[in-house]
Amino acid sequence: MENYSIKKISSYGFFILMTGLIISASILIFLLFKLEDIREKLTLIQNTHKSFLQLKNDTERLLTTGELEESIISLIKSSKKFNNTLKMSDEYNLKEIDELWYVCQKEISAIVENLQKPIFNPKNIKHKPLLHRRGELFLQNDSNEFYILLTEVTDSIEFLLQNEIFILDIFEKIDNNQKIYEKIELKKTKKYAVFFPLTVLIITTILAVFISKIATKTEKNLAQNEAFLDSVIENIPNMIFVKDAEELKFVRFNKAGENLLGYTRNELLGKNDYDFFPKQEADFFTQKDREVLDLKALVDISEEQIETKYKGKRILHTKKITLFDEKGKPEYLLGISEDITEQKRLEDQLRQTQKMEAIGILAGGIAHNFNNNLAIILGNLEMGQRKFSEPEKVKNFIEVAKTAALRSRDLVNQILTYSRQGSSTKEPIYLKLVIDETRKMLQSTLPTTVKLHYQAMLGASEIIINADPNRIQEALLNLCNNAVQAMDEKGDLNIYLDKVDLSKHDIPAQYDCLPGLYVVLSVEDNGGGMDQATLDKIFDPFFTTKKVGKGTGMGLATVQGIVDQHGGLIKVHSTTSEGSRFELYFPMTEEVQLTSQKQEKIVPQQGTEAILLVDDDELLVDLGKQILTDLGYIVTTAINGHDALMIIEKNPQQFDLIITDQSMPKMTGLELAQKIKKLNSQSLVILMTGYSSKILEGDIGKHGISAYCRKPLRLVELSQVVRRVLDGAC
Amino acid sequence: MKLSISKKQKTDADMRYLNKFIKPLASLILLLSIVGCSDKEKENETESASLNLFEYRAITVIVPNVGGRTIRGPVLDEAKLFSEKTGASVRVVTPGWKSTIGKIKESLTDPKINFDIFVIITSWGGSLLGENHIEPIPEWVKEKIEWKDVLPVYKNSILSWGNKPYGLPYDGDCVNLYYRKDIFANNTNQEKFFKKFGYKLTPPTTWDMYEDIAKFFDGWDWDDDGKIEHGIAENRLRGYGSVLQFFTRAAAYAKHPDDKAYYFDIATMKPRINNPGFVEAFEDYINIMKYGPKEMLNLQTDDIRKSFISGDVAMAIDWADMGPMAVNSDISVVKDRVGYAALPGYDRVYNNKTKKWDSQYNNPSSIAGNWTILVNKDSKDKKLAFEFAAHMTSPILTKKLITIGWTGINPSRYSHFEDMSDWDGSGFSPSDTREYLNTISKSLDNENVMVDIRIPGASKYYDVAGEYIDLALKGKMEPKEALDKISLKWDEITDSLGRKSQIQLYKKSVNY
Ligand SMILES: Nc1ncnc2c1ncn2[C@@H]1O[C@H](COP(=O)(O)OP(=O)(O)O)[C@@H](O)[C@H]1O
Ligand SMILES: [Mg+2]
């Protein structure tokens, strides 16, 4: 900008110089012309003046000459001549002279007319001057008439002369004025001839000084700016480097760069990455450089490793951008690198600490829970032993101990889920179906004081995710459970199903998710909400704010585990005393390849066949019976293998299918299955187990098992397995 | 960086170089401008020296040429002085007497001819005033010329019109008789005269006596200079002078003291010019010519004065100018020999009302032929015109002019009679001065006064009168016939100008 102003001032300067010269020249020329004009005017007026002098002489001669006729003629002649010259100088506005001349002309013609009267004949005049003749006549008493006339004429001539003298005076004045005027003009011209060029010279000189001052100042400023920028770059605590776009050789380096790499500027400049770093690293850098230059955009490399001279391997966060020349072609590559090695190390340390802490809590939690349960179990068993004689009471003690044991089993399941050790099979599913099923379940278990609302986006039934439907259901149930508890069993429970496009920013740092389309499953309550301190810990295993027996602190931990398994994420919004909303995000499956058959799979499959359900857990038996009955089956139950065999033995063909738990006291599921096969080799058996085992699955068919079913029982899964087995798909 | 450092060094060098240049340059310019300024100042000085109040302004004054330098002389002189003093151009033109009024009339209609100031006799003023061509005297001019000092007879009647002052008091005039004190006192002449006429030779009190004395001194060398002398010199050259001379004489015959009117009947404007009083006066006016020089017909005011002061005649009828002229003219041989007397009277006077002669001594004064200065109402520079007119009529200038004979300027102010200091260098002896001024003031005190015709058309009345008087003088017409003719012509003029208005104006002019 300052350069520009110098340019501008210079051109202005030139312009002023030129205009000044032109003005000076024109003024001088104008003055010279004016001078010439004055000269001309002066000559013309002088000529007119001269011709008037002639006229005046002729007028005087009238009085003094004896040759009257001759002088009359010359008077007429000079009068005409003057009249002509006066007309020529008309443009000079000699109005005063004009008026006087008008009077003179009148008088001249009157005089001439009088003198041409016969009485003025030579005989009367006697060739004597008129004045002389008048004097003579005065003394004669007989020539009174002629005397009177002559007096009139001489008076008239005198009058004419008076007027002529006025004209002469004016001429003289004009002459003088004109001469003075000419003198003044000449002086002016001389003065201007010096003054104007001088002024132009001065202005130009001043301008030159001015420009040179500005130039000096500008240069100083530029140098200062440059130095300032230099020092800024030099002192930025991050490594800054510039490479040329052609060969990617270093052209600039700052102090931080020198310190980091352990090389001096002189060593670095003019060389490229391969001269200093291992090939692998150099390849990476070069590849990124090319990427930057090709993209012509900023490239952010969040982590890259570099081998330094003295500090070993360092981790850098580098940003690279292209610098363009005036034509828009990439000229340089600018890089700025932050050494995040230390930061990384601290983070890892922190993570480790957190892990240890979490494990501590986890172990504590497990120990605490199991201790509780064990205490209950042991206490009850002991009481049972003591009250052996009272079978009713014993039964009760055992019942309580069993419940505690079952609770421990659930706990184990949850821990397994959290640690991702529980088996899960993901497949494309219609999410809406899972939600619908869960809702149905909730509807029958929720207290009437809680209102369940469900709101799904348009086309929600088309949404497909790759998931394990049982897990999803489990997560949803957990969230709802929490919500109901938070609302103290009365309020509005909302479930939303939605779809969002998550950008990079929407994904919290701890998740390794990719941006894209996600399904959001939200559970919202208007309960007590949480403060920040609570929020920070809710996902920790065994973290709970609830009383013993009300919560284990494993609910949200499990949810977290489930979401992680599905490559999704969780967001929580909560305000104390207003409510909370938990949002579960699952990546959407793009390709919709679900066949109608597959869809059927997800829908609970119904049937009318007779089924024998065997499980030592009475709760489970009841649940299973209810589910299967709902599906249309005729269900018979047994609580151990022995009972089951007894029922089958009565009529080995009466059951189309036997579903048995694997882990049962006295007789396992497998043992039972083998025995049933002996009774009826056609029997179809589904084995239920608490945890997934590849080995077990591999045993399908070997021990007469038609299918395997994971516990706890899930409606959809169960219905599908049952249908599949019954339909002879296996 | 390196590059920029070398650049900086270069500009520093430039600066030093420029500084080297600028300093002498600046001082040169300063010097030049000082020289230029001082030049200009000098110019201004020379210019301002000649620059004056009325620079480049011009007025034209018209004064008739009445012969010699009379009346016009002071105007010409003062115009020159005034121009030199103020830078104005005051142009004075002096056409012949006869053509003056024509030129004035012409200027009033021709836009290319302009006169700013008219220096004329009061009788002409009437026509200009009646036609509203004259600018009244503004207060500042009145103050400047000390209007209060002007004698009432001029201030209130002759210089005013309809009670408004228009004319500036250049000249105050009454006509008087001048005689040769020395030859009147001469014993031989006394004896001779007594012997011839039977009464003592004294300055004449009647026109009859005037004729006797004229007859007595005519045709012989009464002063022993070897030249034949004459009795009288009077104005007889055709024109105003001659007519005025006639009216002055006729006043004694026809200006009745009980009647303010003189030329016309006040009620009808009927001319009285041919009544018996005028006729008798006219016959005597012609008759007396034989006692004057043979070229009497060519004589006008200037010539009469010359003939009297060169000792050619014993008596002269003239305005007050004769007095100073006699004592301070180069050609005067009559210094200290001049006597002053009021105009002669007449033993009877014609009463126009009764159409009869009244037998009573009648001796009116003639206050006629006053010169006044008027400013043209259409003047393009009235300020300058009044400045000059005021200068011409100031008490200081006029007081000087009345002591100089040839000027034709006579006392018109109280101060002219009171302070005699200006007469010291005039050639008058103190006693002569007193006698001279007494004569004039007596004339001015006279209740019975004859004044000019001061109504529009005055010059026409005078011209007609001059023409026929001249014819009678040359014997081409009987006196009575000439006066009848004049009467007839006067009636024509009156009718052409409107009798009714003329009656009103005539009444005004005589303060009826
Ligand atoms: N919807 C909710 N409203 C308020 N607090 C909640 C909600 N969900 C979970 N929490 C808090 O999070 C804690 C951990 O929950 P969770 O892991 O399910 O264990 P538990 O429910 O057994 O306590 C709870 O004790 C409770 O304090
Ligand atoms: Mg919970």
Q: pLDDT of A331-367, one tens digit each?
A: 999 999 999 988 888 887 776 776 676 667 667 777 7
Which residue range is the domain that position B416 belongs to? 58-173+369-428
- What's the count of helices (H) and strands (E) in chain B, helices before strands? 20, 15
Asked if residue B479 and residue B464 are part of one domain, the reply reads yes
List residues in chain B touching A: CB distance below 8 A. Answer: 1, 4, 7-8, 11-12, 14-15, 18, 21-22, 25-26, 28-29, 32, 36, 39, 43, 58, 65, 89, 91-99, 112-114, 237-238, 294-298, 303, 474
Average pLDDT over residues A416-434: 73
Say which residue, A417 or A600, is predicted with more confidence. A417
User: B315 and B237 in one domain?
Assistant: yes
Could you report the per-residue pLDDT of A520-549, keeping only the tens digit for each?
A: 999 999 999 999 889 988 988 888 898 876
pLDDT at A638 over 50: yes
* Coil, helix or strand at residue A398: helix
How distant, in Å, are the alpha carbons of A35, B31, B32, B270, B493 from that of B37? Answer: 22, 10, 8, 77, 70
Domain range A237-339, CATH class: alpha beta
The lowest-confidence range among A574-578, B1-5, B349-353 is: B1-5
Q: Are residues B360 and B390 in the same domain?
A: no
- Can you tell me which residue has the tokens 């309020």? A491
Helices (H), B368-478: 382-392, 395-401, 414-418, 430-445, 458-473
The answer to the question of residue B252 being in a domain is: yes
C-beta separation of B180 from B338 below 8 A: yes
Token representation of residue A695? 């080995």
Greater pLDDT, A405 or B32: A405
pLDDT at A207: 80
pLDDT at B248: 93
Count of CB pairs separated by less than 8 Å, A with B: 100
Mean pLDDT over the full length of chain A: 83
Q: Residue B1 has what pLDDT? A: 34
Distance in Å from the first CA to the final CA of chain B: 116
B99 with A155: Cβ contact below 8 A: yes
Indicate the pLDDT class of residue B25, thresholds 50, 70 and 90.
Answer: low
DSSP reduced 3-state for A199: helix
Would you kindly state where each structural domain of chain A is located, as residue ranges? 2-208, 237-339, 346-587, 610-726
- Any idea which fold A346-587 has? Heat Shock Protein 90 (3.30.565)
Token pair belonging to B12: 């520093």
- Ranking A191-200, A283-292, A693-702, B240-249 by mean pLDDT, the lowest is A693-702
Q: What is the pLDDT of residues A119-135, one digit of tens each?
A: 888 788 788 888 888 88
pLDDT of B379: 93
**pLDDT above 50 (res B13):** no
| A719 or A712, which is more confident | A719
Tell me which of A63, A218, A219, A230 to substitute to probe the interface with B (most B C-beta atoms closer than 10 Å).
A219
Does any ligand 1 atom lie closer than 6 A to the CB of residue A528? Answer: yes
CB contact burial A81-119 (16+ within 10 A = b; e otherwise): ebeebbeebeeeebebbebbbebbebbbebbeebbeeee
Instruction: Indicate whether B197 and B145 sit together in one domain.
Output: no
Higher-confidence position of A465 and A618: A465
Least confident of A78-92, B106-120, B361-375: A78-92
Do B128 and B243 reside in the same domain of the chain? no
Residue B250: which H helix or E strand, with range?
A: helix B240-254
Smallest CA-to-CA distance from A683 within A655, A707, A703 is with: A655
Residue at B49 is within a domain: no
Same domain, B357 and B394: no
Q: Comparing A428-442, A576-590, B176-190, which segment has the lowest mean pLDDT?
A: A428-442
Within a domain: B217 = yes
Name the E strands within B43-126.
58-62, 89-93, 117-121
Q: Which range among A440-444, B222-226, B230-234 has the greatest average pLDDT?
A: B230-234
For residues B302 and B228, membership in a common domain is answered with yes
Q: Are residues B242 and B110 in the same domain?
A: no
Distance CA B329, CA A642 (A): 193
Residue B221 inside a domain? The answer is yes
**Span B357-366, pLDDT tens digits:** 999 999 998 8
Residue A499 vs residue A135, higher pLDDT = A499
B48 is a domain residue: no
Q: What is the residue with the minimal CA distance to atom 13 of ligand 1? A: A544
- Which stretch of A339-348, A622-631, B367-376 has the lowest confidence by average pLDDT? A622-631
Q: Of B411, B428, B445, which residue sits at a domain end?
A: B428
Report helix, strand or coil for A496.
strand
* Record: contact A99-B113, CB cut-off 8 A: yes
Determine the pLDDT at residue A725.
Answer: 84
Ligand 1 site, residue A483, Cβ cutoff 6 A: yes
The answer to whether A401 touches A377, Cβ cutoff 8 Å, is yes
pLDDT confidence of A594, banded at 50, 70, 90?
A: very low
- Asked if the model's pLDDT at residue B201 lies above 60, the reply is yes
Please report, for residues A553, B410, B446, B450, the alpha-carbon distance to residue B174 in angstroms, rounded to integers and kept in the order given. Answer: 155, 8, 11, 10
Residue B72 lies in a domain: yes
State percent of chain B over pLDDT 90: 48
More confident residue, B484 or B339: B484
Domain endpoint, select from B392, B410, B428: B428
Lowest mean pLDDT among B145-149, B265-269, B429-433: B429-433
Chain B contact probe: residue of A150, A166, A211 with most B CBs at under 10 A: A166
Structure-model confidence comparison of residues A47 and A694, the more confident one: A47
**Which residue in this structure is represented by tokens 């090389």?**
A263
**Is A707's pLDDT higher than 90?**
no
Is B483 a residue whose pLDDT tops 90? Answer: yes
Residue B17 lies in a domain: no
Q: Is the dihedral of CA B300, B306, B311, B317 positive or negative?
A: positive
Residue range B309-342, pLDDT digits in tens: 889 999 999 887 777 777 777 778 888 888 888 8
Determine, yes or no, domain membership for B350: yes
Between residues B112 and B386, the one the model is more confident about: B386
Calpha distance B367→B251 (Å, rounded): 11
Q: What is the pLDDT of residue A143?
A: 66
Please tell me the predicted confidence (pLDDT) of residue B273: 95
Residues B141 and B180 in one domain: no
Q: What is the pTM of this model?
A: 0.52
Indicate if ligand 1 lies below 6 Å from the C-beta of A556.
Answer: yes
User: What is the model's pLDDT at position B29?
Assistant: 55
Number of domains in chain B: 2
CATH (residue range A610-726)? 3.40.50.2300
Residues contacting residue A698 through CB under 8 Å, at least 6 positions apart: none
A209:B91 CB<8 A:
no
Residues across chain B: 512
Residues B336 and B251 both lie in one domain:
yes
Choosing from A369, A407, A545, A576 the residue with most ligand 1 atoms within 8 A of its CB, the one to mutate for a pocket test is A545
CATH code for the domain in which residue B188 is found: 3.40.190.10
More confident call, B163 vs A286: A286
Residue of the CA atom closest to atom 19 of ligand 1: A553
d(CA A422, CA A412): 10
Q: Considering CB atoms only, which of B11, B96, B297 is closest to A212? A: B11
**A103-142 residues touching B, CB cutoff 8 A:** 103, 137-141
Same domain, B316 and B208: yes
Of A99, A159, A216, the CB nearest to B11: A216
Residue B405 sits in the same domain as residue B494 = no
pLDDT class of B193 with cuts at 50, 70, 90: very high
Query: Is pLDDT of A694 > 50?
Result: no
